[in-house]
Amino acid sequence: MFLSIATTHRPATDLGFLLHKHPDRLHEVELTFGKAWIFYPEAREERCEAALVLDIDPIGLVRGKGQGDGLLDHYVNDRPYAASSFLSVAFNKAFRTAMAGTCAVRQDLADSAIPLEAVITPVPMRGGEALVRQLFEPLGWNIVVETLGPAQKLYARLKLAGSARLSTLLTHLYVLIPVLDDTKHYWVGEDEIDKLLKRGEGWLDSHPAKDLIVRRYLRHRGILARAALERLAPQTQDEAVEPEVKTAPEETLEAPIRLHDARLEAVTAALRAIGPKSVVDLGCGEGKLLQRLVRESWARQLIGLDPAIHALERASRRLKLQQPGGPPEGRIALIHGSLTYRDERWAGADAAALVEVIEHLDPDRLPLMERIVFGEARPRTVIVTTPNADYNALFPTLAAGAFRHPDHRFEWTRAEFGAWADRIASAYGYQPALSFIGPEDAQLGAPSQMAVFSR
């Protein structure tokens, strides 16, 4: 990756004093992840340009790492080549005094705004050209963005021009390059807040994109971001930091009616009407239904089943299992399993709930699930909810024929769900009772449909 800084302030070669790097030499800076080279492609009195070239060792970056989700565990990636927090670290080391705004021989120059021009390439633009402008223009920089590469417009050659102190330019780049890149090569801890506030002094507080900068700089770690914003502007401390784009597509789509809450409430009410001693939530996910059921006194024993271990871990935290103030031991059990397999561990439950689960199973898996739930475990009550495909026509942003969630393998109309419920009831000896969840449309029914099977 490449960074150059040029000035036309005369004599331009004074840039060498400001950067503490002699214009006629090749400078080498050792870094933990490679090297940086600094040299001057141009050093005339009218214009002087310093280039910093980052020479990252692409093999050293990944060697010896195990598997995981960490940045460096992808064996082939753009990290050795794209402008990122590596670049910030590198010029913080190479231009430390310049960043601090000190210059023993030309302090007056270090203190004054001079015409500056910087080129950085390739800059990853997660957020597009609009975001680049949103970040740099309020700080007084003229921006030229030249997108690179044939396919996705992910990278740009970024040129900033304006009049500022050199230390200001360096500081802006130090903070905003990682923000554009939106990842960091090191673990972000609390000391990052101090770093950010120190670098952001005098400009971050009044930056219109302050929230985004803080959130991205602190790697979307909500607690840290909140702490940093509080310190920036104490009056805003009650404002929650909303994640940028974290909601599932289905929730966004259905959000205006808070459908999922209505679903959980409907299932809880249906169960309450029967009062089973033990309930298993098949496909419990993060444990939102269990969280409601744990408040019900009739539900003596609750079981949550899910094939995703990380979902169970989140459910465990949500339900405060094995935590002070959590439910007594034995009231809730979370088990790792799935509807592909018969399972003694939950087979004895009085009631089973399948809330928005069946549509995530391939149709050819349904017979197996049916046999396991209705044929083998045979709880006295089984509650199934699933989207009503008829209602999809009323979602303005949903294309015709599309599903509400990319993982949905099917979505049933009211007629299809009714036929399925009748077949299950007659094959396995249950009585079905069908109902709707959510606001009802006269022609198309409600967004979600529910069947309560009992025997």
Q: Which residues bind other proteins (CB under 8 A)?
A: 1-2, 4, 24-26, 37, 39-43, 51, 53, 55, 58-60, 63, 66-67, 74-78, 80-82, 119, 121-122, 124, 148-152, 154-155, 157, 307-309, 336-345, 360, 362-365, 367-368, 371-372, 376
Are residues 433 and 273 in contact, defined by beta-carbon separation less than 8 angstroms? no
User: Measured from the CB of residue 42, what is the shortest distance to other proteins in angstroms?
Assistant: 6
Closer to other proteins by CB, 345 or 455: give it.
Answer: 345
User: Measured from the CB of residue 205, what is the shortest distance to other proteins in angstroms?
Assistant: 33
Closer to other proteins by CB, 140 or 337: give it.
Answer: 337
Name the 3-class secondary structure at 231. helix
User: Measured from the CB of residue 316, what is the shortest distance to other proteins in angstroms?
Assistant: 15
Q: In what order do the strands lie in the sheet with 278-282?
A: 332-336, 301-306, 278-282, 351-355, 381-387, 448-454, 431-437
Closer to other proteins by CB, 25 or 317: give it.
Answer: 25
Buried b (16+ CB within 10 A) or exposed e, 289-314: bbbbbbeeeebebbbbbbeeeebbee
Are residues 439 and 431 in contact, defined by beta-carbon separation less than 8 angstroms? no
**C-alpha–C-alpha distance, residues 230 and 194, integer Å:** 12
**C-alpha–C-alpha distance, residues 404 and 410, integer Å:** 10
Closer to other proteins by CB, 134 or 338: give it.
Answer: 338
**C-alpha–C-alpha distance, residues 254 and 39, integer Å:** 56
User: Measured from the CB of residue 165, what is the shortest distance to other proteins in angstroms?
Assistant: 24
Type and span of the H or E element at 143: strand 142-148
Closer to other proteins by CB, 66 or 330: give it.
Answer: 66
Closer to other proteins by CB, 163 or 338: give it.
Answer: 338
User: Measured from the CB of residue 4, what is the shortest distance to other proteins in angstroms?
Assistant: 6
Residue with tokens 């109309």, as numbered in its chain = 413
User: Measured from the CB of residue 423, what is the shortest distance to other proteins in angstroms?
Assistant: 13
User: Measured from the CB of residue 40, what is the shortest distance to other proteins in angstroms?
Assistant: 6
DSSP state of 63: T
User: Measured from the CB of residue 238, what is the shortest distance to other proteins in angstroms?
Assistant: 38
Closer to other proteins by CB, 312 or 319: give it.
Answer: 312
Closer to other proteins by CB, 118 or 452: give it.
Answer: 118
CA-only gyration radius of the chain, Å: 30
Closer to other proteins by CB, 149 or 429: give it.
Answer: 149
**C-alpha–C-alpha distance, residues 432 and 429, integer Å:** 10
Reported for 261-265, long-range contacts at CB under 8 A and 24+ positions apart, including other chains, are 262/437, 262/438, 262/448, 263/355, 263/356, 263/385, 263/437, 263/438, 263/448, 263/450, 264/288, 264/289, 264/292, 264/355, 265/292
Q: At what angle do helices 166-181 and 128-136 cross, to 10 degrees?
A: 150
User: Measured from the CB of residue 374, what is the shortest distance to other proteins in angstroms?
Assistant: 13
Closer to other proteins by CB, 133 or 336: give it.
Answer: 336
* Residues in CB range of 216: below 8 A, 6 or more apart: 178, 179, 182
User: Measured from the CB of residue 341, what is the shortest distance to other proteins in angstroms?
Assistant: 4
Burial class (CB in 10 A: 0-12, 13-18, 19+), 70: exposed
Are residues 214 and 176 in contact, defined by beta-carbon separation less than 8 angstroms? no
